[in-house]
Amino acid sequence: MKKLFLIGLLVVVFCGYSFAQKPAAKITGIYSDMSFNLESGDVNGVEVFIMFTRDGYLVYFQDSDGSPNVPVIVPASIKGSNLTFTLPERRGYSGRFVGVLERDKLKGRLEGGQISKNGSSDFVLKRKLSYWQSR
């Protein structure tokens, strides 16, 4: 009877433990601060779409400083909540992106590449619909 009680107790404890674990945040999705400026008619910002493929993670990256640049798709490395990818030399942002994925945003910066006109290479991109979906 004691063995049965202990087995039952262990089952309850382990089941409770597995339910108590926080589910891993979904990494794939769209992170964006891209917006339309009514006064100038410009589109400004950055959009990062993280996708998973049979060959690993990819990032679709598009930036806009007045008019949208041609997007690029590059391989990405994800370790835990850390994201890195490298943008090639191109018109628009380039360099190595290093960021941290949070539940509702992507925080990161470009290292060793082009920076924006205001001198910043830091990004805080909210997880949301693409700018192109919300227009």
User: What is the structure's pLDDT at 117?
Assistant: 52
Distance of alpha carbon 71 from alpha carbon 43, whole angstroms: 14
Place of tokens 């509702």: 104
Q: How many residues does the chain have?
A: 135
User: What is the structure's pLDDT at 26?
Assistant: 82
Please tell me what DSSP assigns to residue 4: H
Task: Give the chain's mean pLDDT.
Answer: 83
Please give the backbone phi and psi of residue 25, each rounded to the nearest 5 degrees, phi first: -65, 140
- Quickly list DSSP for 5-60: HHHHHHHHHHHHHHHHSPPPPP--EEEE--EE-TTT--EEEEEEEEEEETTEEEEE
In the chain, which residues have pLDDT < 50? Answer: 4-7, 9-24
- pLDDT 10s digits, 38-68: 999 999 999 999 999 999 999 999 999 999 9
Q: What is the pTM of this model?
A: 0.77
